[in-house]
Structure 1
């Protein structure tokens, strides 16, 4: 039966999603060498094979609303600047003056409505990167302005995110992500989401430790026991799709076999871990009320579940706010789909909100450190976006910023794993089948590393 909406891929009858039983042994390598987390030599090869060749998310289009708005973005030791032109187009340039290489932009953001001016020798460039002015041009000698424009790098957008590729010969972003990724994500309208949390800090683990941590639910019992009240981690109900570079996985938000009251209690506790659900809880309580007895206990008749009422409440609230969720299924009202966009982007997304983790190698080159970036986004009416928009936070003192509960638990756990990975006798990790998304992710790494070794 063909899917009628992109979200229908979760229906086992659609023939699109996979269950664990559909992933045959040998599909992916389940043994991962540990030197890729600790070796400086491997990290250097990664730089050339992956980071200098692939599309990476470097911000949100809403960060640069006006002509001349720019932001600096660094990818390892390479620096770039992205600017919105007078034609409203976003462009990316190497952050270096063509005269003697001085960095044009030192701050993180700014506005260059009249263009960029190098503070060293006052060469100037317009928003399209063209060299416009040279100090004492009549005495400068053989300077061909047309040959000294800023070096441009590919920039594009999808779902409101700005992507940059350091490789000037990169293929189109749409080709890199794939048509299926576009089709499955576009109904969420993430391009209209507003940034409500934006935190970046250095953390003592390899960037792949961060990615691995968010690519499986196998650790929930050990690290996030509070989630067991609302998240069904029965691997038999999880669904997957694997693409050339990327993947998506879903575990339904429900507790199998739990009574009605336990289901309701679990959903009422959701805002402690998923703050975006707070707006839905009042409507959810209204829908639950008819099923409460005089003693306050909840009992549901056949066909009614707390999960179903949460889905109904979510659709009611978002639609009542004038937001378009018409192309999303009921499952997408409640269930966080976990997306991995290679190389370093993990997102959980459900109707009305998404949470994003990215991780990048530390600029100092130490494979035992990385920069992680945590951000949350909400689908809000346009008149409320400015009130909820969060400013970026850069954490300078480790441990000084407190994340919401589940994220804080991961924050504490990841450096602990890195310490273990540094032991010389531990030469590999052994994955279980529930960690198949990690295995797929590392298969993409292996492919990029092998291709680079051939070239």
Structure 2
């Protein structure tokens, strides 16, 4: 590849190979409008300070000003389908009971007894309740949060049951997800995401999917380093060389939407520009269907007179349609194949494609700002005409376990996640050992990281918000 000569304005440089939009424009079944759009903006070239990844005071400011003011994915609606169903969601020291109080209403309560502060439900718990009762002294609340009983009420004439309801945080639903925000003055979720990103999310109809597999693992790396490891395809050629023969990595497309959403589109079924001219169309197809790097286990299909990308789209359409009981005949080739990665600030990734229908969630470890809790949710369409399956229970992996050890995890994808994990170990340690106190980012391929960290800076600069009464 030879970049065209002559000076270019900052941020204008792009990979000289075929663009993402040109790849998609050649597909037999055309992509929808949300795919065929671009929204890049140059946001500067300054280094990003590394203090944010290693300084405990920075982590404290994040917890006081960022996590208290941002919208966060707490659970899926399918986790709490019936009145009284609940899940506990925790971020740092904050803990919430997310519960359904009516067919069309979900609430989120601070998970603490109003008597002497004992948690009403243990971390990670879920179930169905008719009340939320403290295990210490027996004070209890109804599912709607109203006070139910006070043990020995004669001793608490100063406590008015009418004013003793469980405090709540704001709740909204979108795409089958339940979102919470501790800030009563924050913009609503629709304003927070912005009109364009909101239109994309609504188009995916993620409410019609369910959690097929849920895997959680803790990493010895700051939550921002962990989330940023997945924001670009720039690392693919070095970190994941086994997928480069069929992944258009360097010519991936990057977009930003307002202050809280960004994305990339990385096309499959075409070779990396780094490997231009080294592989035939059949070689590209074989990378997915035979050999150690394969993500499929079919007999070897043939490209014939077509392209690897088209053959893969047809193969995926048949395979995933049969696996999910869904009619995918009208689904675009791009949706069948490509990786669409959307970051919803601060800690949620949505992957709305068919071949990689996933959600990532990242949370700082409350005991160590150099560690992160990382979750992968694999979504499948609810079978046409069938009942919604129960959401999968989380599989918890230890530090020394491979993602490949999670039952149901595709070995090829598990290996990719392990490779990213190895980088995170080295990156956290390297930043702390480095004489350079900043990270240098590419203007285009790493724009999502800059966009994300600029949002972090805006929130951390705000005064602390200490929710509650």
Calculate the TM-score normalised by the size of structure 1.
0.83
Unaligned runs of at least 5 residues, structure 1:
293-297
Alignment of 1:262-273 (within 5 A): 262-268=283-289
Q: Distance in 2 between matches of 1:91 and 1:272?
A: 45
User: Among 119, 128, 136, which residue is 2:135 paired with?
Assistant: 119
2:209 matches 1:209? no
User: Among 413, 416, 419, which residue is 2:423 paired with?
Assistant: 413
Instruction: Kindly indicate whether the alpha-carbon contact (under 8 Å) linking 2:338 and 2:355 is maintained by their aligned counterparts in 1.
Output: no
Q: Who is 1:295 aligned against?
A: none
Instruction: Kindly indicate whether the alpha-carbon contact (under 8 Å) linking 1:260 and 1:299 is maintained by their aligned counterparts in 2.
Output: no
321-330 or 42-51, which moves further after superposition?
321-330
Matched residue SS, 1:225: coil
Q: Distance in 1 between matches of 2:107 and 2:63?
A: 23
Instruction: Kindly indicate whether the alpha-carbon contact (under 8 Å) linking 1:198 and 1:376 is maintained by their aligned counterparts in 2.
Output: yes
Instruction: Kindly indicate whether the alpha-carbon contact (under 8 Å) linking 1:97 and 1:103 is maintained by their aligned counterparts in 2.
Output: yes
Deviation at 1:79, TM superposition (A): 1.3
Q: Who is 1:323 aligned against?
A: 326
Q: Distance in 2 between matches of 1:132 and 1:454?
A: 30
Alignment of 1:179-218 (within 5 A): 179-218=195-234
Distance 1:111 1:232, change over 3 A: closer
2:117 matches 1:101? yes
* Aligned residues between the structures: 420
Distance 1:244 1:191, change over 3 A: same
| Deviation string, structure 1 residues 260-294 (Cα, Å, up to 9, x no partner) | 211220231599675xx66xx68xx7xx5xxx5xx
Q: Who is 2:407 aligned against?
A: none
Distance 1:351 1:184, change over 3 A: same
Distance 1:269 1:71, change over 3 A: farther
Distance 1:352 1:425, change over 3 A: closer
RMSD over aligned CA atoms reads: 2.9
2:38 matches 1:7? no
Q: Distance in 1 between matches of 2:465 and 2:109?
A: 29
Q: Distance in 2 between matches of 1:227 and 1:269?
A: 12
Instruction: Kindly indicate whether the alpha-carbon contact (under 8 Å) linking 1:253 and 1:334 is maintained by their aligned counterparts in 2.
Output: yes
253-262 or 439-448, which moves further after superposition?
253-262
| Deviation string, structure 1 residues 347-375 (Cα, Å, up to 9, x no partner) | 333126422322211111x3221222222
| Deviation string, structure 1 residues 107-134 (Cα, Å, up to 9, x no partner) | 5234343211122222221111000212
Deviation at 1:426, TM superposition (A): 2.2
Instruction: Kindly indicate whether the alpha-carbon contact (under 8 Å) linking 2:402 and 2:418 is maintained by their aligned counterparts in 1.
Output: no
320-329 or 199-208, which moves further after superposition?
320-329
Deviation at 1:341, TM superposition (A): 0.7
Matched residue SS, 1:238: strand
Q: Distance in 2 between matches of 1:185 and 1:114?
A: 34
Instruction: Kindly indicate whether the alpha-carbon contact (under 8 Å) linking 2:84 and 2:100 is maintained by their aligned counterparts in 1.
Output: yes
Q: Who is 2:403 aligned against?
A: 402
Q: Distance in 2 between matches of 1:273 and 1:418?
A: 31
Deviation at 1:328, TM superposition (A): 5.0
| Deviation string, structure 1 residues 56-79 (Cα, Å, up to 9, x no partner) | 112222111222111111110111
User: Among 221, 226, 236, which residue is 1:220 paired with?
Assistant: 236
2:451 matches 1:440? yes
Distance 1:9 1:156, change over 3 A: closer
Distance 1:29 1:52, change over 3 A: farther
User: Among 265, 276, 280, which residue is 1:259 paired with?
Assistant: 280
Matched residue SS, 2:267: coil
Alignment of 1:44-443 (within 5 A): 44-106=60-122, 108-235=124-251, 238-256=253-271, 257=277, 258-268=279-289, 292=302, 298-300=303-305, 304-316=306-318, 323=326, 329-351=332-354, 353-364=356-367, 366-381=368-383, 383=386, 386=389, 389-395=391-397, 397-403=398-404, 404-423=414-433, 425-433=435-443, 434-443=445-454
Instruction: Kindly indicate whether the alpha-carbon contact (under 8 Å) linking 1:86 and 1:127 is maintained by their aligned counterparts in 2.
Output: no
Unaligned runs of at least 5 residues, structure 2:
1-24, 272-276, 405-413
Q: Distance in 2 between matches of 1:273 and 1:440?
A: 34
Distance 1:411 1:116, change over 3 A: same
| Deviation string, structure 1 residues 209-261 (Cα, Å, up to 9, x no partner) | 111100011111111001112111132x5253433211111021132453221
Deviation at 1:344, TM superposition (A): 1.3
Q: Distance in 2 between matches of 1:270 and 1:61?
A: 39
Distance 1:216 1:270, change over 3 A: farther
